[in-house]
Amino acid sequence: MEKIAYLGPEGTFSELAATAFTKSAERLPYRDISSCLQALAKKEVDGAVVPLENTIEGSVNITLDHLVHKHDLPIVGELAIPVAQHLLVHPQNADQSMGIVYSHPHALAQCHDYLSKHLSGAEWMHASSTAKAAKEIAENPSLNRAVIANRLAAKTYGLAITAENIHDFANNHTRFVLLSTRKTQNDPSVEARPSVNRKTTIVVTLPSDYSGALHQVLSAFAWRKLNLSKIESRPMKTGIGHYFFIIDIDHAYDDVLVPGALEEIKAIGCATRLLGSYPSAVIHEENEMESTI
């Protein structure tokens, strides 16, 4: 791949994920998830990296809804990367205490315990992304603000890290997916990572609202002993109580048992759609990010 779109600006966790997928591609920041996916749909880029789910917050609904309702962009790879948050200030202010902590509302929430203990007097101010907050502080050293962002943002915008790993939950990871409509020899390869799994993600719409329809769908997987790593309901947007399901199967699409299960689900009247069958890996610690492919 030559060009990869990611959720910008420079220094976001999406850019961190994009570098973990491949260091050789040109990375292009887009202002929101919708623009990333549109850029790929219009073939301005060869791939797009977007967040799908966070350990703490849950699914990124806008990504799911776009993949299900708006675009037909296959998932070709997945990486779960650690969300390590740090406290950054402009290097001019490295020895001063700041009156305001500035970041994305999720990042502030993720560091709630640290902020209560060590910066209880500071005011919280919301930014539209952690990287954007870092960029603003870099450009305006006179602002009395500390920023919560990742290590890449500190490096990108030349900020000093005054406290490391200030996030409350140690197991805070975000699953990022790489979407692409074409495959070339130079593709980034999640397969090269240690302990890689194969996953298949499908969308299932039940035939009608009757008792046990979902149970019947799950039966098709259960008696084949196919493990599901996730099942999530999302609204159809047609009325309260109308849902479709997004199911992650812990097997490749060409696993001998998977096509049979999907045929069985169709036979009972469900609509199914494949979002992708792809390699998936977890990067456990932030320091493993430097040794990326």
Which chain residues interact with a second copy by CB under 8 A?
Answer: 53-58, 61, 80, 169, 171, 173, 175, 209-212, 214-216, 218-219, 221-222, 225-235, 237-243, 282
Q: How far is the CB of 55 from a second copy (least distance, A)?
A: 5
Point out the catalytic residue in the list 12, 174, 200, 201: 174
Between 28 and 282, CB nearer to a second copy: 282
Between 90 and 251, CB nearer to a second copy: 251
Give the sign of the dihedral formed by CA 127, CA 63, CA 152, CA 139: negative
Residue type, 97: S
Residue type, 206: L
> Under a CB-based contact definition with an 8 Å cutoff, are residues 50 and 37 in contact?
yes
Instruction: Let me know if 21 is a catalytic residue.
Output: no
Q: How far is the CB of 95 from a second copy (least distance, A)?
A: 34
Between 135 and 175, CB nearer to a second copy: 175
Instruction: Let me know if 245 is a catalytic residue.
Output: no
How far is the C-alpha of 42 from the C-alpha of 38, rounded, in Å? 6
How far is the C-alpha of 249 from the C-alpha of 260, rounded, in Å? 13
Question: Could you report how far apart the first and last alpha carbons of the chain are, in Å?
Answer: 14
Q: How far is the CB of 225 from a second copy (least distance, A)?
A: 5
Q: Of all helices (H) and strands (E), which one includes residue 92?
A: none
Point out the catalytic residue in the list 13, 21, 176, 244: 176
Residue whose tokens read 């709630």: 112
Q: How far is the CB of 80 from a second copy (least distance, A)?
A: 5
> Under a CB-based contact definition with an 8 Å cutoff, are residues 72 and 179 in contact?
no
CA neighbor of 243 nearest in space, from 203, 201, 205, 202: 205
Between 42 and 210, CB nearer to a second copy: 210
**Residues with active-site annotation:** 174, 176
